[in-house]
Structure 1
Amino acid sequence: MANPEHKEALDRLDKVSVCMYRLGISVFSLALLSYVFVLLDKAMLFSLPNQFEYYTLLAVGVSTALSAANVHVYSKWVRAAITYTGWLGLVLLLSDIDMVRVWLSLGFVFVTFSGIALKESFCFKVVGLKIVPVLLAISVPLIMLELWLACAALLGVSGFILGYLSIVKWRMPLHFDIGIKARYEI
């Protein structure tokens, strides 16, 4: 957790991992906002090129890989839960060529970013961050049931909150993400 009084000495790998983590959050927020347009297209309220959904899901996959690989959490069990659900969601996303169980893949990805949102809400005071896990959890069955408009609204709000988080994160010093290295369980 961020401790402004403590400034950990960061090596190059620490700096790269923090930047990749923050980049993952930024890309995920943009991917959520892009997926809103995909859902509006499915509801026939918007018209998109055929490949737009694939590129949006590719952005979801990239953001998941970036954030899951570089999340900084002291507890190894919490870190493993956040990380492994993301990797599982990524594997399911890559194995779903016909995109028939996107809801399942996104469900695991949403667990990862819900964990990240909760982690960040404990560390930093970002408005709306604690509601993101609820919004993401509700959106999974909405995708499965093809309730596109309701899901678009929830993912849009989540995308904006996470986008605001990413702006706040990029303004912070890098050592805020690392915290105190001695507290990490290996």
Structure 2
Amino acid sequence: MANPEHIETLDLVDKISVIGYRLGLSLFSVSLAWYCIIGFVESSWGQLPSTFQFNPASLFIVATLLSAGNLHVYDKNVRSIIMWSGWLGIALFSFLINSHFEWVAYGFIFVAFSGIALKESFCFRVFGLKLIPLLLFLTTLFMAIRLWTLSLGLIAICTLIFSYLTVQKWKMPLHFDIGNKSNYQI
């Protein structure tokens, strides 16, 4: 996690991992927005024609691969929980996509991004991040019981918070994400 007072010298791999992590956050924001737009359009006007359909699951998968795969957290147990919940969500998508249980895969990916939001809230003061775990939990619950309007409303709120986080992250120097390399548990 970041330590703004410490300026670590970054090599090429460090820079690529921070950029990958931030791209994952950006893509997660886009994924949430796309899910929300598709959901509201289909609930208002009915199913979109097949030429316009694009399942947001693939965006969530790539966002999770980028963010969970390039996570910078000192504690290996916390890092493992966040990463493995993301990997499990990705694996579950291959079995549950377009089924009534797709919400389970989303739930695990939301656990990963809830952990990322909490991690970021401890490092940086970004408004609303501490609410993300609750909002994503409720979103998953509403997906499971098919309360789509409530689910989409919560996703819209999460989109705003993660979009704000993404903008703030891209403004920060890259070394903020790495912190002190000597503090990482391997």
TM class, shorter-chain normalised?
over 0.9
1:63-74 map, 5 Å = 63-74=63-74
Q: Tell me, in whole angstroms, the C-alpha distance in 1 between the residues paired with 2:123 and 2:26.
A: 18
Structure 1 residue 64, shift from structure 2 partner: 0.6
Deviation digits for residues 10-54 of structure 1 (CA, Å, limit 9, x no counterpart): 110000000000000100011011111232245345653447664
For 1:162, give the aligned amino acid. Answer: F
Q: Tell me, in whole angstroms, the C-alpha distance in 2 between the residues paired with 1:85 and 1:51.
A: 32
Aligned-pair identity (%): 47
Q: Tell me, in whole angstroms, the C-alpha distance in 1 between the residues paired with 2:50 and 2:75.
A: 42
1:55 aligned counterpart, secondary structure: coil
Question: Which residue in the other structure is 1:130 paired with?
Answer: 130
For 1:91, give the aligned amino acid. Answer: A
Structure 1 residue 57, shift from structure 2 partner: 1.1
- Alignment RMSD (CA, Å): 1.6
Moved more, 167-176 or 54-63: 54-63
Do 2:18 and 2:70's aligned partners in 1 also have CA atoms closer than 8 Å? yes
Deviation digits for residues 74-99 of structure 1 (CA, Å, limit 9, x no counterpart): 00000000000000000001222443
Do 1:21 and 1:66's aligned partners in 2 also have CA atoms closer than 8 Å? yes
Q: Tell me, in whole angstroms, the C-alpha distance in 1 between the residues paired with 2:49 and 2:172.
A: 37
Give the TM-score normalised by structure 1: 0.94
Question: Which residue in the other structure is 1:142 paired with?
Answer: 142
Structure 1 residue 102, shift from structure 2 partner: 1.3
Question: Which residue in the other structure is 2:90 paired with?
Answer: 90
Give the TM-score normalised by structure 2: 0.94
Change (3 A) 1:51 1:165: farther
Moved more, 99-108 or 9-18: 99-108
Q: Tell me, in whole angstroms, the C-alpha distance in 1 between the residues paired with 2:41 and 2:99.
A: 16
Do 1:90 and 1:109's aligned partners in 2 also have CA atoms closer than 8 Å? yes
Q: Tell me, in whole angstroms, the C-alpha distance in 2 between the residues paired with 1:30 and 1:160.
A: 10
For the pair 1:59 / 2:77, whether they are aligned, the reply is: no
Question: Which residue in the other structure is 2:158 paired with?
Answer: 158
For the pair 1:81 / 2:98, whether they are aligned, the reply is: no
2:55 aligned counterpart, secondary structure: helix
Structure 1 residue 106, shift from structure 2 partner: 0.3
Do 1:42 and 1:148's aligned partners in 2 also have CA atoms closer than 8 Å? no
2:9 aligned counterpart, secondary structure: coil
Gap runs ≥5 in structure 2 = none
Moved more, 141-150 or 91-100: 91-100
Aligned residues: 186
Structure 1 residue 181, shift from structure 2 partner: 0.4
